[in-house]
């Protein structure tokens, strides 16, 4: 029993360490488009720049009245499911964007699910405007 609790704590610490690149606070697409130098600060204290061309690509697929609620970066939650890795997109606006921009349309219990090879398409196009979160 003690070993199990220690194992769970160790795994939680590992996940926290792996995900230090995630933002402390996310900003809206609208605010990022208006910023002179769009960026966000990560939990590790590093400031990450977001390329304007990526923000403009996102804006092409997000209605103007939703841009103040669309948060940047887009979080892609990677986890293992059996023998393969899958990616969940839990934010509804992010899922709607990915459906419009990339044609993904796989939902499980209301959450978008991508396979790892599909995530690669997103990361290539949105290298600075998306972040991968690792779930263990």
Percent of the chain with pLDDT over 70: 88
Closest CA to 33 of 67, 73, 75, 79: 67
Q: How far apart are CA 117 and CA 76, in angstroms?
A: 13
Confidence of residue 23 (pLDDT cuts 50, 70, 90): confident
| pLDDT value at residue 20 | 79
110 sits in the region (left: phi over 0; alpha: psi -120 to 50; else beta) called left
Q: Across the strands, what pairs with 132?
A: 76
Tokens of 77: 């939650």
Least confident window among 4-13, 54-63, 127-136: 4-13
31-46: pLDDT as tens digits:
999 999 999 999 999 9
Q: How far apart are CA 68 and CA 122, in angstroms?
A: 22
Cβ-based burial of 105 (10 A; exposed 0-12, middle 13-18, buried ≥19):
exposed
Query: Would you give the end-to-end CA distance of the chain in angstroms?
Result: 20
Q: How far apart are CA 99 and CA 93, in angstroms?
A: 10
| pLDDT value at residue 82 | 81
67-109: pLDDT as tens digits:
999 999 999 999 888 888 899 999 999 999 999 999 999 999 9
| pLDDT value at residue 7 | 66
| pLDDT value at residue 3 | 46
């Amino acid at each position: 029993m003690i070993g199990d609790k220690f194992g769970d704590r160790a795994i939680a610490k590992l996940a926290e360490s792996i995900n230090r690149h995630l933002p402390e606070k996310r900003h809206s697409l609208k605010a990022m488009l208006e910023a002179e130098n769009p960026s966000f600060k990560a939990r590790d204290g590093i400031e990450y720049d977001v390329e304007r061309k990526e923000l403009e690509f996102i804006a092409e697929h997000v209605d103007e009245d939703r841009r103040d609620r669309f948060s940047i970066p887009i979080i892609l939650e990677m986890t293992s499911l059996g023998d393969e890795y899958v990616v969940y997109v839990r934010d509804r606006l992010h899922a709607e964007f990915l459906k419009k921009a990339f044609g993904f349309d796989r939902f499980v219990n209301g959450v978008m699910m991508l396979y790892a090879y599909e995530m690669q398409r997103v990361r290539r196009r949105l290298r600075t405007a998306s972040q991968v979160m690792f779930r263990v």
